[in-house]
Amino acid sequence: MIVALIIACEVGFWVLLAAGLALRYLAKMPRLGAAVLLCEPLMELALLVVTTVDLKNGAEPDWKHGLAALYIGYTVAYGHYTVKWLDGHAAYRLAGGPKPAGAGYGKERARHEWKLWVRTVIAAAVALTLLQAAIWYVGDAGDVSSLQAWQFGALRAVGIHALIAAAYTIWPKKAPAGAEEGRPSVAAGER
């Protein structure tokens, strides 16, 4: 049941996102679109409640509970960022807004990657907190090794993402010929 709810939350995230952006930019109803977008965190709250109730009802902690914790952590750290990023692109494509800036090159790109790494740290911290709370909640009554394995997985994701950010710092992405350092290139027809 938890896996189905995680899938439903992910599908719901994208459906609400598409509906909110469509209301904002296609139907010209920005307030209603914003209200729809604000409903997104309710799905993660429902997932948290269902996972907690499942453990409370005596379910053996397993990979599904760990996956739910990581999903909630990811959504907390990256959810708003994703909505804001897509909102900027929708405003550009559908409402004639300014073109969103890219991640850039050189030092600007490295800074961008480190900011994303901080989001990954936040995601891992939320997941680790939820997993540790579940471990304490279950206590000696059940096998919590699966939850502990997910904790290690969250820490591993932080380490891998740090290596990626460090790679952009050590070997900065170079701007294409003719583009300024730190600025995304602009195609010839978009000047």
5-64: pLDDT as tens digits: 889 988 999 999 999 999 999 999 999 999 998 888 888 898 898 898 888 888 888 899
> How many domains, the chain?
1
Give percent of the chain above pLDDT 70. Answer: 93
126-185: pLDDT as tens digits: 999 999 999 998 887 778 899 999 999 999 999 999 999 999 999 998 888 876 544 554
Q: Which amino acid is at 189?
A: G
| CA dihedral sign, ordered 150, 155, 158, 163 | negative
27-44: pLDDT as tens digits: 999 999 999 988 888 888
Question: What is the distance between the alpha carbons of residues 41 and 58, in angstroms, rounded to a whole number?
Answer: 27
Domain membership of residue 87 (yes or no) is: yes
Domain membership of residue 162 (yes or no) is: yes
Domain membership of residue 59 (yes or no) is: yes
Helices marked H in 57-144: 63-95, 106-138
Domain membership of residue 153 (yes or no) is: yes
Question: What is the distance between the alpha carbons of residues 114 and 34, in angstroms, rounded to a whole number?
Answer: 29
Domain that holds residue 165: 2-175
Burial class of residue 86 (count of CB atoms within 10 Å of its CB; 0-12, 13-18, 19+): middle
Helices 63-95/145-170 angle, 10° precision? 40
Question: What is the distance between the alpha carbons of residues 52 and 17, in angstroms, rounded to a whole number?
Answer: 26
Question: What is the distance between the alpha carbons of residues 70 and 120, in angstroms, rounded to a whole number?
Answer: 11
Domain membership of residue 183 (yes or no) is: no
Question: What is the distance between the alpha carbons of residues 49 and 38, in angstroms, rounded to a whole number?
Answer: 19
Q: Mean pLDDT of all residues in the chain?
A: 89
Q: Report the range out of 66-75, 113-122, 134-143 with the highest average pLDDT.
A: 113-122
Domain membership of residue 181 (yes or no) is: no
96-113: pLDDT as tens digits: 999 998 889 999 999 999
Q: How confident is the model at residue 188 (pLDDT cuts 50, 70, 90)?
A: very low
Q: Which amino acid is at 157?
A: A
How is residue 5 written in tokens?
A: 């709810």
Residue found under tokens 């540790």: 132
